[in-house]
Chains A and B, each alone.
Chain A
Amino acid sequence: MRLLFLVLVLLGGCETVQPWERGTLARPEMQLDSDPLETTLMEQVYESKEAASGGNGAAGAGCGCN
């Protein structure tokens, strides 16, 4: 029971980031990517070779819509 209480109290500390508050999360430096420049170059090569682009991650700049 104490453990359950502790878990519930800790869960109360979690807060949902609302869609209109995601500006900071959408910044390039907030992406889970250690080397954005290398990723961009790799994507460029991939797009050139495959004649296709996109599908590399969550779209919509963190806005949770598309």
Chain B
Amino acid sequence: MKNKENLMSRLSCFLLIFLLPLLAQGLEVGEPAPAFKLSSIPNQTPMELQDFSGKVRYVDFWASWCAPCRVSFPELIKLRAEMDSENFEIIAISVDEKTEDATRFLRRFDPKYPVLHDPDGKVAELYDIPAMPTSFVIDRDGQITMIHTGFRDGDIEEIRAHISTLLAEES
């Protein structure tokens, strides 16, 4: 009987140690967007999320090796051109380890919005991104209002509608 109790307590201990990390949850809609500060590509200018406070922000985590990012970039460039720059900004964050890889990718698309570099993945970890690409729509109050993972044809319509609604509500 004593052995059985001993075994059960040991098993419970192991289960707690090994299963607890699985219960860790990422960011959710409605939570405040964590602050960050990163260098821009290619100028190495330090920028932070707070630099764009008061605007609706679309934070896009991408990488040069991520195939859907090749689909998302042209769509986001178009979206940025359509939207009012006073109230909306796209902040792209590259998780490429090497700056050259990100620069080569950017030469192909030439986005007109800030691109930051997170080579150690610290901000990606902070936002606990579940896939590549992952984007977060942040409202003027700094709350996450949408989390979008992956990028398929037609996804931009859902994103555009969401941002338009936010801009209409808050203007």
Contacts and interface: CB of A to CB of B under 8 A. Distances in A.
> Chain B: interface residue count, which band?
20 to 34
A52 interface: no
Given A26-B65, A60-B68, A20 B95 contact: yes
Nearest to B67: A61
A-side binding surface: helix, strand, loop or mixed?
loop
Contacts of A19: 124, 129-132, 134
A27 B61 CA distance: 19
A31 B129 CA distance: 24
B18 A11 contact: yes
Interface string A44-66: 00000000000000011111111
A19 B124 CA distance: 9
A12 B152 CA distance: 35
A33 interface: no
Given A18-B121, A18-B125, A21-B121, A63 B132 contact: yes
Nearest to B124: A20
Contact of B18 (A8, A62, A66): A8
B130 A23 contact: no
